[in-house]
Amino acid sequence: KKIPHFPVSTAIGHAGKLVIGKVGDVAVAGMQGRVHFYEGYSMKDVIFPMRVFSRMGIRAVILTNAAGGINTGYKQGCLVVIRDHINLQGTNPLIGPNDERFGLRFHDMTTAYWKPYADAALEEGKRLDVDIYEGVYGALTGPSYETPAEIRYMRTVGCDLAGMSTVPEVITARHMGIKVLGISCVTNMAAGVLDQPINHVEVLETGERVKTQFVSLLRAVIPRIAEDVK
């Protein structure tokens, strides 16, 4: 609320704070929570923090999220490095007049997620004995969880994960030339994968349970990313 024009997160589990500090010798800025399209914000609001980071001179971002596991090889609580995404949100944050200060009208998304960063995350995860995989993230708007039929469709078109965020920020980051590492925490198995309903309390509890592993992974990966952008 103290930062002019910054959107304020209303989602449970999102503190809505911007934290600036260091991980070892690496200067970092981190958002404790994000805003989502489903909260009623416009896409321009959702991506505003990413625009600000660009103007701050940030050249690489790590985007994390809680996701539902579609791939039956995943387990609740595992981490998944995002290799690519499928945008099923029905919109794009760059619709409207293009701001030439940030990037081209039509920008390439072949390398939406920077391969060397994804490779580094997998290497460090395995070295730390983290339960880690790789996959394709499918983004919907939410806030309702997906139906079993929607999950079957997402699996058919190649999604390993289902979530309600991340893709707008990735599109915007790549528009500005910022390199992206994306990591999902599988906080629940998606609808129909297991014969049980999904609830947000379970999502929050799983996120809390794997927090230590997640932090260890980020501490290991950040210096490697910093070497690339220094």
pLDDT tens sequence across 108-155: 999 999 999 999 999 999 999 999 999 999 999 999 999 999 999 999
What global pTM score does this model have?
0.94
Q: What is the average per-residue pLDDT within 86-114?
A: 97
Model confidence over 67-82: pLDDT tens digits? 999 999 999 999 999 9
Which of 73, 200, 64, 221 lies closest to 137 in space, CA to CA? 64
Beta strands 17-23 and 132-139, pairing class: unpaired
Query: For position 11, what pLDDT does the model report?
Result: 72
Does residue 30 carry a pLDDT above 70? Answer: yes
CA atoms within 13 A on the CB side of 43: 17
Domains and CATH numbers, the chain: 60-229 (3.40.50.1580)
Residue 181's pLDDT is what? 99
Confidence of residue 13 (pLDDT cuts 50, 70, 90): low
% of the chain exceeding 70 in pLDDT = 98
- Region 83-96 average pLDDT: 98
| pLDDT surpassing 80 at residue 1 | no
Tokens of 216: 């260890």
Please report which confidence band the pLDDT of residue 204 belongs to, taking 50, 70 and 90 as the band edges.
Answer: confident
**């707008």: which residue's tokens?**
168
- pLDDT for residue 213 is more than 90: yes
DSSP letter at 109 equals: -
Neighbours of 216 (CB within 10 A): 15
Indicate the length of the chain as a whole number: 230
H-type alpha helices, 105-192:
115-127, 148-157, 167-175
pLDDT of residue 17 exceeding 90, the answer is: no
The average pLDDT across 152-162 equals: 99
What does the pLDDT read at residue 6? Answer: 86
Average pLDDT, the chain: 94
Tokens linked to 82: 């995002």
